[in-house]
Amino acid sequence: MRLLSLTRSVLCLGLAVLAARAADLRVGMIGLDTSHAVAFARILNDPANPEHVAGAKIVAAFKGGSPDIPKSISRVEGFVNDLKKFPEIVIYDSIAELVKNVDAVMILSVDGRAHLAQAKAVFPSGKPVFIDKPVAGSLRDVLAIFQLAKETGAPCFSSSSLRYNTASALKGEGYGDLQGAFTYGPAEIEPHHPDLYWYGIHAVEMLYTVMGQGCTTVVRTHANNTDIVTGTWSDGRVGTMRGNRGGKAVYGVTVFGTTAVVSKVPAHSYMPLVQDIVKFFQTRIAPVAPAETIELLAFMEAADESKRRGGAPVAIADVMAANRPAK
């Protein structure tokens, strides 16, 4: 009995130590040119927030900012001022200094082009890294980032919050065997990124939340205010995303099944994403497989190639082969 009691005590102590360590996770943010920096800080650092997520706190940040993107450079100081309400957050002048003082990192820079260089500055530490959408500013850089993560042993993952909102909206809905899906959302274009990387990525991530991996070909119809991108999956399923510009900014998903068709407008919240980010930092296990993230970025790259070809079908395998980074 004494041995059993001792074993239980040791187990409880071990769990308590693990919990304490999890609660003490120090997180650094790279890139304060996005509203996500403030939103994530409010969720992690403010226990009074109804959506508060325990287990980690933002303690460090690096401003970043891209002079050639107005929605980046013009907003940095405003977001920095918003973060000043959290005195525990130290603004560092270099990524190297930030990395020394944290247990995990969020790369949040709104400009995906900056992510590869930022990842190169973090990955050698081996610390877990969440990379906000888009993973990078090109498929070539996306592939380079995940290859570098593998080489350095630094766990990383990327996801839109809409993945989690879509999953929540469809939870418990019965539609039989999945035959296909249709998603829609805003698709504002930023000239320094492939068209869908900037904002259309949300509706694409929603599509992959439902459909999963396996898309083989992509076709895009482009107009001034609309993009329609249709993918054919290897098992014959068809998934389509509609990107809207100039209209009401609403996200939606329709799932086509053998027994029902289900349509939902997901409620938006960052909390489910942040919960998975914290769990990822604690376990170092990515909740979204790199292969799926790479494919959905390739889906968008193929959509750009289809646009260049006047709407012709483009194979994802061809786009992947054309963007392999040089060794």
pLDDT in tens, 155-167: 999 999 999 999 9
Asked whether residue 3 carries a pLDDT value surpassing 70, the answer given is no
Is residue 275 domain-resident?
no
Instruction: State residue 140's pLDDT score.
Output: 97
Is 25 found in the same domain as 93?
Answer: yes
Confidence of residue 6 (pLDDT cuts 50, 70, 90): very low
CATH number at residue 103: 3.40.50.720
Instruction: State residue 325's pLDDT score.
Output: 78
Does an H or E element contain 201, and which? helix 201-211
Is residue 181 domain-resident?
yes
Choosing from 129, 158, 187, the residue where a domain stops is 158
CA 224, CA 222: separation in Å to the nearest integer?
7
pLDDT in tens, 93-137: 999 999 999 999 999 999 999 999 999 999 999 999 999 999 999
Contacts of 190 (CB under 8 A, 6+ apart): 69, 71, 197, 198, 199
Mean pLDDT of 184-195: 96
Ranges assigned E (strand) in the chain: 25-30, 56-62, 90-91, 104-107, 129-131, 156-158, 178-186, 215-222, 226-233, 238-244, 252-257, 261-264, 314-315
Mean pLDDT of 210-225: 97
Instruction: State residue 23's pLDDT score.
Output: 61
Structural domain count of the chain? 2
Instruction: State residue 161's pLDDT score.
Output: 97
Is 212 found in the same domain as 143?
Answer: no
Is residue 253 domain-resident?
yes
Is residue 274 domain-resident?
no
For 90, counting Cβ atoms within 10 Å of its Cβ (0-12 exposed, 13-18 middle, 19+ buried), the class is middle
Q: Which domain holds residue 34?
A: 2-158
pLDDT in tens, 222-274: 999 999 999 999 999 999 999 999 888 999 999 999 999 999 999 999 999 99
Is 175 found in the same domain as 142?
Answer: no
Is 54 found in the same domain as 33?
Answer: yes
Is 170 found in the same domain as 247?
Answer: yes
User: What rounded mean pLDDT belongs to the chain?
Assistant: 93
Is 207 found in the same domain as 178?
Answer: yes
Is 89 found in the same domain as 27?
Answer: yes
Residue 313: name the closest of 238, 228, 230 by CA.
230
Asked whether residue 191 carries a pLDDT value surpassing 80, the answer given is yes
Asked whether residue 19 carries a pLDDT value surpassing 80, the answer given is no
Mean pLDDT of 140-152: 97
Is 135 found in the same domain as 103?
Answer: yes
Is residue 276 domain-resident?
no
Is residue 273 domain-resident?
no
Asked whether residue 1 carries a pLDDT value surpassing 60, the answer given is no
Percent of the chain residues topping a pLDDT of 70: 93
Is residue 280 domain-resident?
no
Is 81 found in the same domain as 108?
Answer: yes
Is 95 found in the same domain as 43?
Answer: yes
Mean pLDDT of 11-24: 48
Mean pLDDT of 75-82: 93
Distance from the first to the final alpha carbon of the chain: 61
Is 149 found in the same domain as 20?
Answer: yes
Confidence of residue 5 (pLDDT cuts 50, 70, 90): very low
Choosing from 158, 177, 195, the residue where a domain stops is 158
CA 163, CA 133: separation in Å to the nearest integer?
12
Is 179 found in the same domain as 143?
Answer: no
Instruction: State residue 24's pLDDT score.
Output: 76
Choosing from 106, 132, 158, the residue where a domain stops is 158
Mean pLDDT of 12-22: 44
